Amino acid sequence: MLCHDCPRMCGVDRKTQIGFCGEGDKIRVAKVIENFMWEEPLVSGNKGTLAIFFSGCSLRCEYCQNYQISHIGKGEVYSPKQFADFLKSFDYSKYDSIDFITPTHFSSCLMSALSIFKPPVTLVWNSSGYERAETLEKLLPFVDVFLFDLKYFSSELSGRLSKAADYFEVASKAVKFVAENKKEEVDEKTGVMQEGVIVRHLVLPGEIADSFKVLDFLAEEKNVIVSLMQQFTPIGKGEKERKLLPLEFKAVLAHAEKVGIKRGFYQEEGCADQTFIPKF
Ligand code: SF4
């Protein structure tokens, strides 16, 4: 079948050809971290999440913090049936959720796997937000929490850094779609989200004017929890060569308050360090 899983719409046969995401027709897992505590508290809970990092990416930002797996690609490959068996092998009493990290380009295979076995904890779809509405509609029965990025407003910026000039147009529609379809529900005892939408925004050095516009949009989305991140770490390639300045992040936080964003998270200062990037 020709692949149209993501907005790149490559239309390639992934059995024999590789599209923009760099991955074939098997699910490739780069790393698994059990009891991972570095997501928002609504996802990590007290026990941590079962974090599954997939290899490849449909966005491939030039400053990617997980460059080793998103651009180079590595890991074990699984058919949908094998991946369902792999998911069955974990003891879910040990985690508060399961976190599919960068899963978009494996959407079809993952839905096949999840129709065989869906883990009995909150399933989190942790993606760039660059998602096709048609794919999201099919994902709704399988996914409990959509944890999206909303990276850019400017098409010039998204074109330059992620080769996706249509990023905001596509991702803003994706946010609206999931916000309409996943009403927030949080387990009172554990504090873990059972259903809902969290939208992350990583503030980029020198781009706070763009962050303001992203926040202006998010301020209108009342069914979304906003998570502001300042962990940008230069990876030694691409145009972004410095960390975010504390003053830049403060200005973004002040703008969030100004436009009325009251519910959400923000990262503490001091998190922009290589030690916060898992080793792959
Ligand atoms: S998932 Fe990969 S091959 Fe399929 S449309 Fe997206 S980038 Fe292209």
277 vs 16, residue with greater confidence: 16
pLDDT band at 275 (very low <50, low <70, confident <90, very high): very low
Say whether pLDDT at 196 is over 70: yes
**163 ligand 1 Cβ < 6 A:** no
Q: What are the tens digits of pLDDT across the range 3-14?
A: 999 999 999 999
**210 ligand 1 Cβ < 6 A:** no
| Residue 231 resides in a domain | yes
Which residue of 9, 27, 58 sits with most ligand 1 atoms within 8 Å of its CB, as the best mutation to test the pocket? 58
Least confident of 132-136, 207-211, 267-271: 267-271
Looking from the CA of residue 4, the nearest atom of ligand 1 is 5
**10 ligand 1 Cβ < 6 A:** yes
Q: What pLDDT score was predicted for residue 72?
A: 75
| Residue identifier of the C-alpha nearest atom 4 of ligand 1 | 3
Q: Cα–Cα distance between 43 and 144 in angstroms, integer?
A: 11
- Rounded to the nearest whole angstrom, what is the distance from the C-alpha of residue 261 to the centroid of ligand 1? 34
Share of the chain above pLDDT 90, in %: 86
Say whether pLDDT at 34 is over 70: yes
Specify whether the CB–CB gap between 112 and 155 falls below 8 A. Answer: no
Looking from the CA of residue 20, the nearest atom of ligand 1 is 7
Say whether pLDDT at 263 is over 90: no
Range of the domain at 162: 27-276
Q: What does the pLDDT average to over 185-192? A: 95
Share of the chain above pLDDT 70, in %: 96
| Residue 22 resides in a domain | no
**This prediction's pTM:** 0.95
Least confident of 137-146, 181-190, 231-240: 231-240
Specify whether the CB–CB gap between 90 and 123 falls below 8 A. Answer: no
Chain mean position to CA 263: 19
Helix 208-219 / helix 246-258 crossing angle, nearest 10 deg: 20
Using H for helix, E for strand and C for coil, what is the string for the chain? CECCCCCCCCCCECCCCCCCCCCCCCEEEEEEEEEECCCCHHHHCCCCEEEEEECCCCCCCCCCCCHHHHHHCCCEEECHHHHHHHHHCCCHHHCCEEEEECCHHHHHHHHHHHHHCCCCCEEEEEECCCCCHHHHHHHCCCCCEEEEECCCCCHHHHHHHHCCCCHHHHHHHHHHHHHHHCCCEECCCCCCEEEEEEEEEECCCCCHHHHHHHHHHHHCCCCCEEEEECCCCCCCCCCCCCCCCHHHHHHHHHHHHHCCCCCEEECCCCCCCHHHCCCC
Looking from the CA of residue 104, the nearest atom of ligand 1 is 1
| Residue 121 resides in a domain | yes
Structural domain count of the chain: 1
Q: What does the pLDDT average to over 1-24? A: 95
Least confident of 45-49, 201-205, 275-279: 275-279
Looking from the CA of residue 6, the nearest atom of ligand 1 is 6
Q: What pLDDT score was predicted for residue 68?
A: 77
**21 ligand 1 Cβ < 6 A:** yes
**58 ligand 1 Cβ < 6 A:** yes
pLDDT band at 269 (very low <50, low <70, confident <90, very high): confident
Which residue of 18, 20, 131 sits with most ligand 1 atoms within 8 Å of its CB, as the best mutation to test the pocket? 20
Q: Cα–Cα distance between 18 and 262 in angstroms, integer?
A: 43
Q: What does the pLDDT average to over 68-96? A: 93
> Which CATH number goes with the domain that contains 86?
3.20.20.70
> What does pLDDT average to over the chain?
93
Which residue of 2, 4, 57 sits with most ligand 1 atoms within 8 Å of its CB, as the best mutation to test the pocket? 4
| Residue 180 resides in a domain | yes
Q: What does the pLDDT average to over 267-271? A: 72
pLDDT band at 279 (very low <50, low <70, confident <90, very high): very low
| Residue 260 resides in a domain | yes
| Residue 1 resides in a domain | no
